[in-house]
Amino acid sequence: MEEVDTEKYVKNEAGYKILKCLLYPVAITYKPKIYGKENIPAEGGVIIASNHRKAEDPAFAVMATKRVIHWLAKKELHESKFKWFFEAAGTIPVNRGVHHTGVMEVAEAMLEQGYVIGIYPEGTRNKTEDPIQPLKYGAVRLAQKTGAWIVPLSIAGINGAFKSNVRTCIGEPYKIAADADLDQENEILRKKLARLYLEAEEKTKE
């Protein structure tokens, strides 16, 4: 693979940790609980594949691990007045309307260097009644190409500060074989996310 410059996404991990500390007191007002934190490998390349129903989702995913998660995020966030926040958080901008922008090559290189990449395989926020929408192929394709662990994660119960019982359920890590069928693997991941989401939703009632 041609060498890819990843420095700008990883050079400011201190900024990420500061933002995480600042977010923590706010996150507590959502009464969060996390199940399966031990399923996130402590080292090596990891893909966090998460469901996405609310704008606050990333905050609760990052609370689940001490590792820095570099999220793929729509480029509009990097063009907004909060650009500084997303740059400090080490997110990787994605132009969802254009293919072959190089973002997947960046993610691939970072995984091979042992970093954690966060992906929303549904491609956008799920505003439907379905637990999980059909998935894009980015997560499973990256896992197959790099040999990175893929960790399914689902969040439920976000209804605003002091009105929530947020539950994050994290599935066991697994790998995708080099000769695996990606259509089948995408469906496997979708079912894992749906099961975890329904589990998290049920736990919000506890």
All domains in the chain, ordered by first residue: 7-203 (3.40.1130.10)
**pLDDT per position as a tens digit, 9-64:** 776 677 888 888 988 999 999 999 999 999 999 999 999 999 999 999 999 999 99
**pLDDT per position as a tens digit, 110-122:** 999 999 999 999 9
pTM across the whole model: 0.91
Nearest of 98, 95, 116, 96 to residue 107 by alpha carbon: 116
**Mean pLDDT across the stretch 172-188?**
97
Report in angstroms the alpha-carbon separations of 79 from 35, 85, 108, 163: 34, 11, 24, 31
